[in-house]
A = this chain, B = another copy of it.
């Protein structure tokens, strides 16, 4: 079956299935039913079936899904085997963590250079990634045809550096700064807003005290 268009909610659940399937594989399980996945992952079995079907997977009635094949299929679908080059802008705490975060390397994220305006960092290497001055950002992005930029700067300079990335031809920005960025329609911004998660957590804490 051909892969249909996959919705964002589905796309976000796939990596969760994948980690659990790998766990099963390590234990030597060969097949798994969505009924089982449903119990463990606490999600509706129909939803899991629809999610898998959306990637083009087919299961066997009465049997379930082949663990190894499903892993292989999902990894291909998510593009874990082909790497994407990226620039990281803002070598603070969070930036450094992302630069050295192994799970991203395993999933095919390849940060080729990082940028900062701190003279003490420029010229150094962090987690094997060279740190360059932000002045080189736009030109280098053009020259290297970089399509993905990861933004981990303080809020005050977020828009300026976004502009620099956009000018350099970057088309997808992973934004960790708690601000909306202004970008042309052609540029996609993926927002990872830790403050939003914190808001949910604090509300929850209020209600249980």
Contact = CB atoms under 8 A, between A and B. Distances in A.
A172 B204 contact: yes
Interface string A47-91: 000000000000000000000000000000011000010000000
A15 B178 contact: yes
Given A16-B178, A79-B202, A179-B20, A97 B104 contact: no
Interface residues of A, number: 58
A127 to B, nearest CB: 8
Contacts of A188: 204, 208
Interface in A178-199: 178-180, 182, 188, 190, 192-199
10 contacts: A6-B203, A11-B203, A12-B197, A14-B199, A15-B198, A16-B180, A78-B202, A188-B208, A190-B204, A192-B197
A208 B147 contact: yes
Contacts of A101: 93-94, 194
